[in-house]
Amino acid sequence: MKIAFVGKGGSGKTTLSSLFIRHLAAAGATVVAVDADINQHLGAALGLEEDEAAALPAMGDRLRLIKDYLRGRNPRIASADTMIKTTPPGEGSRLLRVREDNPVYDACARPVELGGGAVRLMVTGPFTDADLGVACYHSKTGAVELCLNHLVDGRDEYVVVDMTAGSDSFASGMFTRFDMTFLVAEPTRKGVSVYRQYKEYARDFGVALKVVGNKVHGQDDIDFLRTEVGDDLLVTVGQSDWVRSMEKGRPPRFELLEDANRRSLHTLRAAADAMYGVRDWQRYTRQMVHFHLKNAASWGNERTGADLAAQIDPGFVLNEGLAAAV
Ligand SMILES: Nc1ncnc2c1ncn2[C@@H]1O[C@H](COP(=O)(O)OP(=O)(O)O)[C@@H](O)[C@H]1O
Ligand SMILES: [Mg+2]
């Protein structure tokens, strides 16, 4: 299951991603955690010391390795140079599984112990000014998008991405790569306006979007969110003393998280899990092709000097059944 946490900066994406990841790990699920947020704080939120977090390998610096591994023996992708972030897999490509060892995880993932078990953590690496503009070819989140487009994930396997709700993810199609998107919103007009924008993009692509109200103080906050986002409001999370302690570098055992917040995490998992049965790999593949063609035409063909539409394997559909094949 591929799950994104998006929202305005400061809304609590990283905090809620990290709590959700801890919740999954405590339940024994297999988790790959990905930090694709502009401010790279997921490692710290999962309890890494500053020097440990700083030493995490950046996916953005290992794009060539990722591309060379994923393209495998796909004859339609002649070299890593012509592989852009939207290049879809086809016959001969290598796929990624949540539960396996592979060169991408070797190079980019590090285990983080969370009590219940270790999760794999991958980070895009710090963003620079260039990343926030239109640096399509070298985009930091491109590495994440390539991995998602080559991922065959099953039940009880989770990829959780802490991610910025921004124009980059809309242009590339990254926002369509998830089984469930949790939009974290504070009960403020700004929080809600990010939701409206996301909803508008999401509508045309059937993106499953739920709002998680955060830093909610009382009924008035809940009423505000309910009025503004309606049934899309899945759950709310209040100020957490557990989170406050963690921020002071003294994380209590996860079992001590407040009951109400634990119930909210449970609701998030149930909402994500409910999407398993309605996953549509045909549509998933079709959307990846759609965004590839769009990116090829708008900058990819020119940038690589190749006709990137030819990379599409018309008979290929990504699906869970491919997980068994190597
Ligand atoms: N439910 C919460 N309880 C207490 N503090 C919170 C909560 N949610 C977020 N925070 C705090 O708010 C700040 C911003 O949260 P963060 O998760 O870093 O936001 P984002 O990743 O969206 O930029 C952090 O200091 C975080 O600890
Ligand atoms: Mg963050």
Q: What is the DSSP letter of 28?
A: T
pLDDT of 326 > 50? The answer is no
Quickly state the pLDDT bin for 162 (edges 50, 70, 90): very high
- Tell me: the pLDDT tens digits for 187-237? 999 989 999 999 998 999 999 999 999 999 999 999 999 999 999 999 999
- Tell me: the pLDDT tens digits for 70-99? 999 999 999 999 999 999 999 999 999 999
Q: What is the best residue among 15, 186, 216, 257 to mutate for testing ligand 1's pocket, by most ligand atoms within 8 Å of CB?
A: 15
pLDDT of 325 > 60? The answer is no
Q: Helix, strand, coil: what percent of the chain each, to 5?
A: 50, 15, 35
On whether the 2-182+276-318 domain is CATH 2.60.120, my answer is no
Please report, for residues 30, 161, 187, 297, the alpha-carbon distance to residue 125 in angstroms, rounded to integers and kept in the order given: 23, 14, 30, 28
Residue nearest to atom 2 of ligand 1 (CA): 239
- Tell me: the pLDDT tens digits for 252-308? 899 999 999 999 999 999 999 999 999 999 999 999 999 999 999 999 999 999 999
Q: Please list the alpha-helical segments (H only) found in the chain.
A: 13-26, 42-45, 50-54, 63-71, 103-108, 129-132, 140-149, 167-172, 189-203, 219-229, 241-247, 259-273, 281-295, 301-304
pLDDT of 135 > 60? The answer is no
pLDDT of 114 > 70? The answer is yes
User: What was the pLDDT predicted at 129?
Assistant: 67
User: What was the pLDDT predicted at 165?
Assistant: 73
User: What was the pLDDT predicted at 323?
Assistant: 64
How remote is the CA of residue 125 from the centroid of ligand 2, in Å? Answer: 13
Q: Is the pTM of this model over 0.85?
A: yes
- Of these ranges, 114-123, 137-146, 162-171, the one predicted with the greatest mean pLDDT is 114-123
- Tell me: the pLDDT tens digits for 5-47? 999 999 999 999 999 999 999 999 999 999 998 889 999 999 9
With a Cβ cut-off of 6 Å, ligand 1 is lined by 7, 9-15, 37, 39, 41, 214-215, 237, 239-240, 243-244, 247
